[in-house]
A and B are shown apart, each in its own frame.
Chain A
Amino acid sequence: MNRLKSLILIITFLFFLSWSGVAIYSYLQLGHLKTVAGSDGVLPPDYSGKAILGAQVYTANGCMTCHTQQVRQLDVTHSDIDRKWGTRPSVALDYLRDRTAFLGNRRIGPDLSNVGSRLTDPVWYYQHLYEPDQITSGSIMPSYRYLFHMQKIQGEPSALAIALVGPHAPPPGYEVVPTKDAQDLVAYLLSLKHDYILPEVSAETPSAP
Chain B
Amino acid sequence: MNHATTLSKIETISYLSEPLPLDSSRSLEIDRSMGVPILFLMRSSFFSFALGLFLVLICSIKLVFPSFLDGVSFLTYGRLFPVAYDLFIYGWAIPLGFALILWLMARLSAAPLSHVRIVTAAAHLWNSALFLGSLAVLAGYGTSVTFLEYPNWASFLLFVSFLLMGLWVLLLIKEREERPLYISEWYLLTALCSFPWIYGTANLMLTWGKIQGSAQGPIQCWYAGSLMQFWLIPVALGAIYYLIPKITGIKIYSYYLALFGFFSLLLFSGWNGLSALIGGPIPAWMMSAGVVTNMMLVLPMIAVVVNFYKMFQESEKLILHQSPALRFVAAGIISYVIATVLSLVSSFPCFNAILNFTDYLSGIFLLLFMGFFGMTLFGGLYYFIPRLTGISWSSSKLIRFHFWLSVVGISLMVSSMLLGGIIEGIALNDPVITFTNILSYAAPWNVLVSLSWFTLLLGFFCFMRLLVIMRWQMIEEKLPLSL
| CB of B279 closer than 8 Å to a CB of A | yes
| Alpha-carbon gap, A110 to B217, bound state (A) | 19
| CB of A140 closer than 8 Å to a CB of B | yes
Contact: A15 with B190, CB < 8 Å? yes
User: What's the minimum C-beta distance from B41 to chain A, rounded to whole angstroms?
Assistant: 24
Which residues on A sit within 8 Å (CB–CB) of B266?
Answer: 11, 14-15
Which residues on B sit within 8 Å (CB–CB) of A144?
Answer: 71, 76
| CB of A60 closer than 8 Å to a CB of B | yes
Which residues on A sit within 8 Å (CB–CB) of B94?
Answer: none
Contact: B79 with A15, CB < 8 Å? no
| CB of A123 closer than 8 Å to a CB of B | no
| CB of B6 closer than 8 Å to a CB of A | no
The 8 Å CB contact of B436, one of A72, A83, A106, A136, is: A136
Q: Determine the residue in chain B with the shortest Cβ distance to A108.
A: B63
Known: A18-B270, A65-B81. A33 touches B71 (CB 8 A): no
Q: Determine the residue in chain B with the shortest Cβ distance to A74.
A: B279
Interface string of B51-86 (1 = CB under 8 A from A): 000000000001100110011110011110110000
| CB of B282 closer than 8 Å to a CB of A | yes
| CB of A42 closer than 8 Å to a CB of B | no
Q: Determine the residue in chain B with the shortest Cβ distance to A22.
A: B222
Contact: B213 with A98, CB < 8 Å? yes
Pick the interface stretch among B16-24, B121-129, B249-257, B352-360: B352-360
Known: A22-B270, A79-B353, A79-B428. A142 touches B215 (CB 8 A): no
Contact: A95 with B214, CB < 8 Å? yes
The 8 Å CB contact of B70, one of A18, A27, A75, A142, is: A142
Contact: A61 with B358, CB < 8 Å? no
Known: A14-B267, A61-B78, A76-B278. A101 touches B436 (CB 8 A): no
| CB of A127 closer than 8 Å to a CB of B | no
The 8 Å CB contact of A143, one of B70, B141, B230, B282, is: B70
User: What's the minimum C-beta distance from A157 to chain B, rounded to whole angstroms?
Assistant: 23
Which residues on A sit within 8 Å (CB–CB) of B215?
Answer: 26-27, 29-31, 92
| CB of A9 closer than 8 Å to a CB of B | no
Contact: B78 with A63, CB < 8 Å? yes
Contact: B211 with A15, CB < 8 Å? no
Interface string of B175-190 (1 = CB under 8 A from A): 0001011000010011
Known: A17-B267, A31-B211, A65-B81. A59 touches B281 (CB 8 A): no
| CB of B393 closer than 8 Å to a CB of A | no
User: What's the minimum C-beta distance from A77 to chain B, rounded to whole angstroms?
Assistant: 4
Which residues on A sit within 8 Å (CB–CB) of B282?
Answer: 26, 30, 92
Contact: A140 with B220, CB < 8 Å? no
Interface string of A148-163 (1 = CB under 8 A from B): 0000000000000000
Pick the interface stretch among B143-151, B366-374, B406-414: B143-151
Q: Determine the residue in chain B with the shortest Cβ distance to A28.
A: B215
| CB of A48 closer than 8 Å to a CB of B | no
Q: Determine the residue in chain B with the shortest Cβ distance to A194.
A: B281
| Alpha-carbon gap, A59 to B149, bound state (A) | 10
The 8 Å CB contact of B218, one of A1, A30, A98, is: A30
- 8 Å CB interface, A129-143 against B: 132-133, 136-143
The 8 Å CB contact of A31, one of B214, B271, B439, is: B214
Interface string of A76-99 (1 = CB under 8 A from B): 110100111000011111111111
| CB of B160 closer than 8 Å to a CB of A | no
User: What's the minimum C-beta distance from A143 to chain B, rounded to whole angstroms?
Assistant: 5
Interface string of B99-139 (1 = CB under 8 A from A): 00000000000000000000000000000000000000000
Known: A62-B144, A146-B72. A26 touches B286 (CB 8 A): yes
Q: Determine the residue in chain A with the shortest Cβ distance to B276.
A: A105
Which residues on B sit within 8 Å (CB–CB) of A22?
Answer: 218-219, 222, 270-271, 273-274, 286, 289
Known: A60-B141, A102-B144, A103-B280. A96 touches B212 (CB 8 A): yes
| Alpha-carbon gap, A98 to B210, bound state (A) | 10
| CB of A107 closer than 8 Å to a CB of B | yes
Known: A15-B266, A82-B431. A90 touches B281 (CB 8 A): yes
| CB of A126 closer than 8 Å to a CB of B | no
Contact: A4 with B181, CB < 8 Å? yes
User: What's the minimum C-beta distance from B18 to chain A, rounded to whole angstroms?
Assistant: 20
A-B contact pairs, 13 of them (CB 8 A): A11-B193, A12-B193, A26-B218, A31-B211, A59-B144, A65-B82, A70-B280, A72-B278, A77-B279, A77-B354, A77-B429, A83-B428, A103-B217
Extra inter-chain contacts (11) besides given A11-B193, A63-B78, A142-B71, CB under 8 Å: A4-B180, A15-B190, A15-B230, A22-B286, A29-B283, A73-B280, A77-B353, A79-B431, A90-B280, A110-B435, A143-B66
Residues of B within 8 A of A (CB): 62-63, 66-67, 70-73, 76-79, 81-82, 140-146, 149, 178, 180-181, 186, 189-190, 193-194, 197-198, 201-202, 205-206, 210-220, 222, 224, 226, 230, 263, 266-267, 269-271, 273-274, 276-283, 286, 289, 349, 352-354, 356-358, 361-362, 428-431, 435-437, 439-440
Leading 5 A-B pairs by shortest Cβ distance:
A62-B78, A18-B270, A76-B279, A72-B279, A98-B213
